[in-house]
Each structure stands twice: as structure tokens, then as C-alpha cells.
Structure 1
Amino acid sequence: MVTVTAPSLTASQARPTAQATPREAFFAAGEAHAELLDPPDTTYRTLWEAMRHAAAGGKGARPQLVTRTYQALGGTDLEVAAHVGDAVELLHGAFVMHDDVIDHDTIRRGRLNVSGMFARRARAAGASPQAAATFGDAAGILAGDLAISGAITAVARTKAPPHVITALLDLFEEAIRTTAAGELEDVELSLGILEPTLEQVLKMEERKTAVYSFVLPLQAAATLVDSERATTVLPILDLLGRHLGLAFQLQDDVLGTFGDPAHTGKSNLTDLREGKHTPIIAHARTTGAWESIAPFHGAADLDEQGAAIARSALEACGSRAFVEALAFDHMAAARALARAACLPHDLVEWIGALPSRAARQSRAA
């Protein structure tokens, strides 16, 4: 009989130091766990190292949205707000890793993502391209699963009253469920069997992106403040987050087709090649130019030359300008709601600058 014993964790290994942020603690604990396996698993440790590498960089807009809104609503414990903001960013990282697998993307922020790193590792070891891609996808899925678990654990360890933690967990659960619904709908719309309206596409994007990226940080901040005023503005923050999220996503859609990968860090072929039903495409379908655009939409072998023809037609028929104007309208609505929630002017202006950065990148492309 073989006796199997589990390695024991020391107190320092089981619980990260108080100074570590949730993300730092998450990665450190995962790497330590790989070393504690018997024998230590170098491939599994590499997964954690790849996740840490993939999480580096970024603008940190979601954590800032938590802390800035928290302060604007009267919150004073910035360490707690930063803790929850870090949990939101972990959740974002999880969704990004899963989304990259779904979209067959191997590049994020101008460098290999988790899937790309593991696919390259497998090819270097002699695996076939197909087997390497499967290995990369598995790594991306598992990394995303681990990050979701890490985000929820971070929320549960927030130094806040139990009823506040419960409310935060409810917000995170709702965000995860809604995002899953939006992601699945996005894939369904790309099957080529539906011709969704602009309204359907916008609702999908609201579910997939706006709820977790903007509604969640705003409402989490108010929940942390735990005051009567903060509770009162929750419905306004919900609408604010949805408008802000759509403004941001619409600009991201423009970047996904017209952006320069050298500036955006992501491919400008994926949306067209994968047949994504973005608002740009939904608008183009209503124009006389669609017949000339359709052959390039969903073409698996789409190259830069074909994409350039499609982009030119999308600009000529007014689809790019339409989506940029729609983003502007949603941002205007978000600003109005921010004022209605009596958020400080500087916070309103900072919120307003979030999607405009994406717009400047797009126009420069």
C-alpha cells in the first residue's frame, strides 16, 4: 500500500503577509503551492508565473474607479478600498484570460498571453501546432478559473463588517453571472446564423463588459462606504456604470477594427476574422455597403490586405463615425448621472477621460 501524505503549510505559506495586495498574495500563494506539491510541479509553477506576467501593466482603471468613488462618497479607509479594487482587477484578469481562449488570441498588451506562452512552450518541446494550441487553451482556461477563485477569496477576506462582505460577494456573483451570459451571447452571435440588431449587440456588450468593469467597481465602492447616502445612489451608479461601460466598449470596438496593434497591444484582425457582431458591423448591415463588406466578415483566412478593404468600406459608409458618436452620447449620459449622484467634479472629469483615451488611440491609428 502506498501512503499518500499532503504537504503541510506553514503559517506564512498558508496566509500571505498583511502588506501584500490581494493580487500579490494570490500569485505568491499559487507559486508556493506548486513548490509544495510532491514532487514540485514545474509546469504548474510556470502557469502561475505566466499569470503574473500577463497581469503586469494595464492602466488599473477599475481599482482606481473603486477608490476614487469610495472617497467621493465619504469613505476614509483607503486600504480597504484598494483591497476590493484589487479583487475587481483579479476578476478582470480572469475574464480576459477566458476571452482570449474563446477568441483564439495569443497576444495581449503587445506580448504573449497565458495561452500564447504555453502554446509556444509546447511547440518548443516538439508538440504539433494543434496539440500546442490545445495545451495553450487549457492553460488559459485554468488560469482564468484560478483568478476567479482568487477574486472571490480576496473579497471574503476584506476587513469590513460581515454584512458588507456579504453584500460585496452578492455584487461579484451578479457580475460573474451577467458577464457569463454576455460572453455566451457574444459567441452565439458569431455563429453566422443570426443577424442581430444594434440594440441586441449593445445589450450583449453591456452584459459582457459594462457590468463587471464599471457597475461592479462603482457599486462596490458605495457598498464599502456603508452609509445611507451611498445606499441611495446605488441605482444611479448602476445606470452610470452601464453608460460608461458602453462608451468604453464602443471605443474598444473601434480599436478592434481600426486601431494600430503597436499602440493597442491587440490584433485589429480578430473581430473581422472571427465574424464578431460589433456595433460597427450591426450598423454596416443597414447600409448599402454591406454587400462589399460581408465577404471579409468572418473570413478565417482574412489578411491585412483584405482587412484594409473592409475598413475603408466601413469608414465610407459611416459605420465608424456612427459608433464613435454613439460612444460620445453614452459618455454624456454617464456624466449627467455622475452629477445626479453628486459625485465631485474632478471624479466626473476623470471618469469622462477613460473612454477618451481609447478614442485618441483610435484616431491616431
Structure 2
Amino acid sequence: MANDAVVGNTPRVVPARRGGQNDPVRASLAAYATEIVTAVDDTLADFLSAEIDTMTAIDPAVGGFAVTARDSVLAGGKRVRPTFAYWGWRGVAGGGEPLPPVLPALAALELLHAFALIHDDVMDSSATRRGRPTAHVAVAAQHAAAGRRGDPGKFGETVAILVGDLCLVWADRLLARAALPPARLLEVRRCYDQMRVETIAGQYLDVLGESDPTNWSVDRALQVARYKTASYTVQWPLLFGARLAGVVAEPPLIAAYTRYGLAVGEAFQLCDDLLGVYGDPATTGKPAGDDLRTGKPTALLMLARTLADPAQRRALDQVGVGASDREVTRLADVVADTGAVAQVERMISDRVDEALAALDDPSIDEAARTALAGLAAAATRRPA
């Protein structure tokens, strides 16, 4: 069963929510989720404050550079990855285990995310993120305002790369603070390393696709979604959480988390594809239509090309960086008219159903199962 929503001017079909909004169990879990996000943010703030002091001792300018990195981490965000990791941990540990020992590991995932976002913004030449100037744009503006020598844009990109690198180092350092037995922490680290490798692999495939879109395909776009997004947004954070709880090899649970994680992660990226064309910039924090301007070979655009008639294909071939807002709006209508939006919505719904079926594993804690079911819907019914 499905209900209608709207993205831009295009109707969407989205999976119906399981359970009512007034369900007391869901309300309790929602409140607890807010506490988890707050705990992660507090952990990050305390850690980053001490790190900035350390870097300021090297040189005040280095301290200012570290502040730029801190602001990139703490400037909003839904803390999706720590949340999935928490429920991956809770799904094994149950409600009786204390949270503080694993909080540094959960928060480390947000530093890893900041690294990926900052570098991604440089690669995509993105001007805004979460409604604010991206790191490289903000640093370039500071460079110009200070009247320094050299090209501000080049300086901003160079510094942003270093800011991302610093976030990656900080993630390692914070992860090491998790109060776990050494052997367990080693298994957590192995999981974390695989997550990073797959993230970089997915990012490379994304860059490769942009350089050769005519030879890309829907299957290849889904492969990018699997590695760039599903892997480090849902699948590996869940497995990371299981490792935090001491699970190394428990085939049914690992299989359930993997199946759920891939399904929700792909649905998450497919939702991003829709938001990249039809999202409200005031909510997404990024300009609408960027994917159309660049011709980014997302699953949505690859499907549109596959389904397009000759006239629609000619229109889609006119996608370009210099496209005006009016042209982007027209192209968005063409994409919808091909039927690609409706098909992507069906793909999202199918993946949510697949994820919910994966949660039938009886070894998953009941509260975690309920929370993960809610997250599957929330991750694919979001405005940003």
C-alpha cells in the first residue's frame, strides 16, 4: 500500500509508514533517537574542543584551520551513520549495556562522513552544503577578504582537501578511544577499514561515471549507489555496531544486517537522486537541479534516458553546466514524463519491503527491530 507525496512539482509514490504516528513504542524510540544524536554531538564537541587546543599550540593559524574542520563537522546533519551503528550495536547487545564505552566509535563515523562530504564538495564544485557555503568556498572567501596572494579558489580547494584529511585522522583517533577489549576493537577496526575502502571505491566509480556518462548504465549507477552510499551509510555502520557488541561471525545476524543495509542504503541514494532534481533548496541546503546541470549519471537520469522517446532524449542531451533555471525546470519535467520518477519510486518501495523482510531474524533485539523498521521508512521519506 502506498500514499502520495510531492517532490517539487512531480508526484511521488512513497512507501506507507508502518505503525501510526501516535504509536507509544515509536514515540519512545523517537525520543531515544534524539538522545543518541545529542550524545554523539556532545562527544564530538568535547573531542574537537581538545583537538583545536592541541593544534592552536602548534600555531594560531593552524588552530584557525582546525576550527574550519570543526565547523564542517558540527554544522548540522542528521547523524544517520552513528544512528544506524547504534541500532546495529543495540540489536545485539540489547538494552542492558551502557552506551558511553561505544560512544567514541559511533561519533567517529560522523568524522568519517565529514571527510567524505568535504572532498565530495571539492570534486563536484558544490557551492553550498546544509544551507551554508561549502568548506572550500568559505575558505576562498576568507582568503580574498584577507587580501592574500594567489587564486582564492585554488587556495580554498587546497585547504578543504586538508580539512577533509584532518577529519579522517580525527575519526581514527576518536575510534581508538572506545572502551572495548583490544581484540574486539581490532575487529571493529577491520570493519571500519573495509567500510572506508568501499566508500572510496564508490566515489571513484561516481567520478568515472561523470567523465563517461554515455557509456554508463542503470546497473552501473546502482553499483555506485551500493558502494558510495549504501555501504558506508547503512550496511557497514550496522555491521560496525555488531562488531562493537562483539559479533564476529554469526551468519544469520550478519546476513540480516547486510540484506537490510544494502536495501535501505540503495533506497537512500535513490531518494537522493530524486531530491537532487526535485528537492526544495530551502530544505536540502543545496541548489535544485545540480544533477541535471552536470548530467550526473544517477539511476534516475539513466532510467530517463532508457525510457525516453526520441524527442525526450534530444532534450536530455541538452543537459549542461550552463543550463538556466528555466531549462533545468523543463528538463525535470522531461525526466518525469519519461516515467523514470515513478519507476525510481517503485524501486525505493521494493527496497524498503526487502529491508523489512530482513528484520524478521529473531536474533535481533525487538526494540532495535522496531527502530530499524522506522529508519527504513524515514531514510526514504525525507525532504533532505
Match of 1:226 among 246, 254, 259: 246
Q: Which residue of 1 aligns with 2:376?
A: 352
Structure 2: gaps (5+ residues):
1-39
Partner of 1:64: 83
Amino acid at match of 1:293: L
Corresponding letter in the other structure for 1:50:
T
**Partner-residue secondary structure (3-state), 2:179:** coil
Provide closer, same or farther for how the CA distance between residues 270 and 26 of structure 1 changes in structure 2, counting only shifts above 3 A. Answer: farther
Letter in 2 for 1:205: A
Number of aligned positions between the proteins: 336
Q: Could you list the runs of 4 or more consecutive aligned residues of structure 1 that deviate by over 6 angstroms after TM superposition?
A: none
CA contact (8 A) 1:108 1:266 kept: yes
Matches within 5 A, 1:13-52: 23-37=44-58, 40-42=59-61, 44-52=62-70
Check if 1:318 corresponds to 2:339.
Answer: yes
Would the aligned equivalents of 1:73 and 1:230 in 2 still touch at CA under 8 Å? no
Matched-pair contact (CA < 8 Å) for 1:339–1:348? no
Cα deviation digits, residues 128-155 of structure 1 (max 9, x gap): 9x92111111122111111111112222
Among 173, 176, 181, the alignment partner of 1:153 is 173
Paired AA for residue 70 in structure 1: W
- Tell me the CA shift for residue 74 of structure 1: 2.3
Answer whether contact 1:168 1:220 (CA < 8 A) is retained: yes
Q: Which amino acid aligns with 1:160?
A: L
* 1:188-233 deviation digits (Å, cap 9, x = unpaired): 1111364211111101111111111111210111111115886651
Give the superposition deviation at 1:111: 0.7
Deviation (angstroms), 1:50: 2.0
Q: Give me the TM-score of the superposition, normalised by structure 1.
A: 0.86
- Quote how far apart the aligned CAs of 1:22 are: 5.0
Distance 2:362 2:118 in 1: 34
For 2:326 and 2:275, locate their aligned partners in 1 and report how far apart those are by CA, in whole Å.
Answer: 18
Cα distance between partner residues in 1 of 2:251 and 2:185: 15
Deviates more, 1:275-284 or 1:116-125: 116-125
2:301 is equivalent to residue 301 of structure 1: no
| Mean Cα deviation higher: 337-346 or 182-191 | 337-346
8 Å CA contact 1:69–1:347 kept in 2: the answer is: no
d(CA) in 2 for partners of 1:342 and 1:293? 48
Q: Is the 8 A contact 1:63 1:217 kept in 2?
A: yes
Residue type of the alignment partner of 1:218? L
User: In structure 2, how many angstroms separate the alpha carbons of the residues matched to 1:307 and 1:341?
Assistant: 48
Shift of 1:176: 0.9
* SS of residue matched to 2:164: helix
Question: Sequence identity, in percent?
Answer: 26
**Helix, strand or coil at the partner of 1:48:** helix
Report the secondary structure of 1:349's partner residue.
helix
Q: Which ranges in structure 1 are unaligned for 5 or more consecutive residues?
A: 1-18
Residues in 1 aligned to 2:173 and 2:248: alpha-carbon distance in whole angstroms: 27
More contact order relative to length (CA 8 Å, sep ≥ 6): 2
RMSD: 2.2
Counterpart of 2:16?
none
Matched, 1:114 2:135: yes
Q: Relative to 1, partners in 2 of residues 1:232 and 1:151: Cα closer, same or farther, differing over 3 Å?
A: farther
C-alpha separation in 1, matches of 2:380 and 2:264:
11
Q: Hey, what's the Cα distance between the residues in 2 that align with 1:95 and 1:348?
A: 24
